[in-house]
Structure 1
């Protein structure tokens, strides 16, 4: 299941990756507040010393050791661990980090589907033809997210979305689990039925009343018995228990709002040449994505994070719609000049927004702006 078999012939098989950020909101908060590293962190409503009325949005793995979990009343979480750091939800920050993470993943994807703010499915590009190569691709994704955003993720690799999603949660946090087609039943059969995405608490309890608690028991259950109890869902339960999933990767709907790239220096620096060099490489990566998706942009934005983790953004609106890489570089450098020489910089980023699809009639105009 987890070993790499060099004899696996998977060039004709679908390979799906599911990338799931680890305790996403809490991880971002710890990144912004390093003094919280290793401590129980709870993101959600104010507990008001045990009298708060909201719920826990997410919590760190340290907090989970006290029995705290998502959707738990925050008053109960306070009683379980009154010394935890209780933080309010900063959704704007999480969305920005999510956008950055999704852009990283898209760079490795042939097909991409964002599933939520902190998880996504992808089919790797055509150069990935085996599960061995997919494992290396998953490691590169993990490394790139950790390098650029300083948070971790867990990745599941499987022959379909269902197995990849189950696998991504198998070795959290910071895990990587590979499940090849020939090992699917060995992987899923020992699991509790609640581990199958889509089987909630009510269905789990209903199956338990039927004497079914493990996936293998569900797989061996008579289909007629399942359909009598669950209707059409009975067939899906039977298929899922056998690790079957025929759903496709659906490209995320809705217009792309922005394209951005960022990079964290290995060592904080105030060297203007080094900083400018990084910014130029990031601009080229942004432009490559623009060309791939045939977008024009109207706004250029940079992001700067100093060594004390204070973070600033600056934007400039361009007079005309364009796809010109030199406009990105020139504008980014102009915006960056404000921050050079003040103190050491930890991270720089550049992005474009106000996007629209290129019109063929605009090609000559935009390419030479």
Structure 2
């Protein structure tokens, strides 16, 4: 039986800003550049009360919270704090799987420092983070990654939640299916159409039926509904790709995709800012109404260094789709791949003059 922790720093970027500038404490802080093409990197809990969330367009955040204080992100500083936190994790276990600058899975089944329980280890880590960084973190303790991630969000901010093996079934029974990773708005509606709103209701469906309706994801739904997740904590797994995608309520023509590409590119770009590695290849994914999947990619001479560059390439890739103009699309995704360590890309500095990518597969 594994003992897994999911540690998640609370409103990380915004909390670092409030820690370093006492005048920001207790105020609604939004970490983002101002402008119509900017996206929120993080929001303090004071700003979240107004509905401001990460990956949200900055102009919308400003409408929701007119008194918000906008602070431009300082990723060098955030990465330095992230390294401090990582060093604390490694005191307790070598099995640390970072997900981003502000969260990680830890396997503490056999901790390096003697501890009476996984819960005690989580408490020790949280105390050390508070003492050494003056920041807070929330933790989830559970038998697997799926449950630990849900648990870490249960008592945020600055909280701890434990799901013991004997409690898994009772905990999952009333849980909304939207809490299962991968269940977005569209999938939530499809499940609701089947009369499935909770994990307990999902449990009543056989694996075969779920797979027939949702393919391999149906199998994952069946397993998660039973609290099953056999994935191991994998240390030193570098980020290879980051993307975001969305399925539309109605199928759209290619020429109608611009607003969706802009929105999804903002979300994907915000996610790429949470890793220390640098992505080089922009990828556009489309799925037609007939479920045909197309991808287009382009690797510029230097990696994109701004949302504007990233979005411009994504839009240019859309123009390389050569299906009939009457083709309709049900999904679009935008992402970055070809990630390398930052020092490998050090020679590729400065903004490049963007040109439409050539017609390459």
Could you say whether these structures have the same fold, taking a TM-score greater than 0.5 normalized by the shorter chain as the test? yes
Match for 2:117 among 110, 117, 133? 133
1:40 paired with 2:28, answer yes
Tell me the alpha carbon deviations over residues 135-179 of structure 1, each in whole angstroms, 9 at most, x when there is no partner. 111111001001111111100000011111110011100110111
How many pairs were matched up? Answer: 240
Tell me the alpha carbon deviations over residues 264-303 of structure 1, each in whole angstroms, 9 at most, x when there is no partner. xxxxxxxxxxxxxxxxxxxxxxxxxxxxxxxxxxxxxxxx
SS in 2 for 1:39: coil
1:18 paired with 2:2, answer no
The offset of 1:75, in angstroms, is 0.8
Residue 62 of structure 1 aligns with which residue? 46
Q: Tell whether the 8 Å contact from 1:56 to 1:70 is kept in structure 2 after alignment.
A: yes
Residue 217 of structure 1 aligns with which residue? 201
Q: Tell whether the 8 Å contact from 2:92 to 2:112 is kept in structure 1 after alignment.
A: no
Residue 91 of structure 2 aligns with which residue? 107
1:31 paired with 2:19, answer yes
The offset of 1:202, in angstroms, is 2.6
Mapping of residues 161-200 of structure 1, within 5 Å: 161-200=145-184
Distance 2:114 2:91 in 1: 19
- CA RMSD after TM alignment: 2.2
Q: Tell whether the 8 Å contact from 1:110 to 1:126 is kept in structure 2 after alignment.
A: no
SS in 1 for 2:19: helix
SS in 2 for 1:141: helix
Mapping of residues 1-369 of structure 1, within 5 Å: 13-47=1-35, 52-124=36-108, 126=110, 133-253=117-237
SS in 1 for 2:121: helix
Q: Please, what TM-score do these two structures have when normalized by structure 2? A: 0.63
The offset of 1:131, in angstroms, is 9.6
Between Structure 1 and Structure 2, the one with more strand by share is 1
Task: List, as ranges, runs of 4+ consecutive aligned residues in structure 1 with deviation greater than 3 Å.
Answer: 127-132
Distance 1:130 1:203 in 2: 43
Distance 2:86 2:183 in 1: 27
Q: 1:225 to 1:131 in 2, by over 3 A?
A: farther
Q: Please, what TM-score do these two structures have when normalized by structure 1? A: 0.62
Distance 1:199 1:42 in 2: 27
Distance 2:96 2:87 in 1: 10
The offset of 1:110, in angstroms, is 4.2
The offset of 1:209, in angstroms, is 2.2
Distance 2:15 2:172 in 1: 29
Distance 2:57 2:166 in 1: 42
Tell me the alpha carbon deviations over residues 69-120 of structure 1, each in whole angstroms, 9 at most, x when there is no partner. 1121111111111111111111111111111111111111141111211111
The offset of 1:57, in angstroms, is 1.4
The offset of 1:125, in angstroms, is 6.1
Tell me the alpha carbon deviations over residues 302-358 of structure 1, each in whole angstroms, 9 at most, x when there is no partner. xxxxxxxxxxxxxxxxxxxxxxxxxxxxxxxxxxxxxxxxxxxxxxxxxxxx9xxxx
SS in 2 for 1:56: coil
The offset of 1:181, in angstroms, is 0.6
The offset of 1:67, in angstroms, is 1.1
Farther-moved stretch of structure 1 (177-186 vs 198-207): 198-207
